[in-house]
């Protein structure tokens, strides 16, 4: 007779639950039997307000002393551009200069590295990259650390 009445089937399945009742948002409740509908546990966990439910808005946590990603991008755009300049020297082979440029400067292609090296060889110096001051200082230090002569200057003056 239980199979003929769907409400009795649900009641008989509910009788197998432990004595503890599920409360909305109670994540410690674990039902170890088979669940006929996967929507029921989801509804129970999402129903409690303030417990990470579907309708809760994400809370933006700000840490003192840290900038948001938007502020960092804005400061990069606002900072004045600097040139990283490669100087010619009589010590390093051309192939080595190309290898160092490709290793130190992100996104540097072989063709660009060869052109920069050749311009520095012929004219005495060449602009490697234009970027923010902190990035320019970092690139210049890396180039010097690999034995190349380099410097930085503001990009706005003397165009």
Q: Is residue 128 part of a domain?
A: yes
Kindly state whether residue 94 falls inside one of the protein's structural domains.
yes
Q: What is the CATH number of the domain that holds 92?
A: 3.30.1390.10
Domain assignment of residue 147, yes or no: yes
Rounded average pLDDT per 10-residue block, the chain, 159 residues: 49 49 53 53 50 58 62 65 94 95 95 96 95 95 96 79
Q: Which domain holds residue 108?
A: 82-154
pLDDT at 15: 47
Q: What is the DSSP letter of 141?
A: H
pLDDT at site 13: 47
Cβ burial, residue 80 (10 Å; 0-12/13-18/19+): exposed
pTM for the full model? 0.52
Q: What is the pLDDT of residue 19?
A: 52
What are the angstrom distances between the C-alpha of 112 and each of 39, 100, 105, 117, 122?
Answer: 58, 12, 11, 9, 15
Total domain count for the chain?
A: 1
Give the pLDDT of residue 9.
Answer: 46
Residue 154: per-residue pLDDT? 93
Say if 116 falls within a structural domain: yes
DSSP element (H, E) containing 73: helix 69-78
pLDDT of 25: 54
């Amino acid at each position: 007779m239980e199979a003929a009445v769907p409400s009795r089937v649900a009641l008989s399945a509910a009788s197998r639950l432990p004595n503890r009742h599920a409360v909305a948002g109670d994540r410690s409740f674990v039902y170890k039997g088979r669940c006929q509908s996967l929507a029921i546990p989801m509804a129970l966990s999402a129903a409690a307000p303030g417990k990470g439910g579907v309708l809760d808005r994400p809370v933006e946590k700000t840490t003192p002393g840290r900038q948001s990603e938007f502020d960092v991008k804005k400061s990069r755009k606002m900072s004045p551009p600097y040139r990283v300049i490669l100087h010619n020297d009589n010590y390093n082979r051309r192939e080595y200069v190309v290898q160092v440029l490709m290793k130190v400067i992100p996104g540097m292609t072989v063709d660009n590295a060869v052109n920069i090296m050749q311009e520095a060889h012929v004219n005495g110096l060449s602009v490697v990259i234009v970027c923010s001051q902190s990035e320019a200082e970092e690139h210049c230090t890396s180039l010097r650390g690999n034995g190349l002569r380099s410097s930085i200057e503001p990009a706005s003056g003397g165009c």
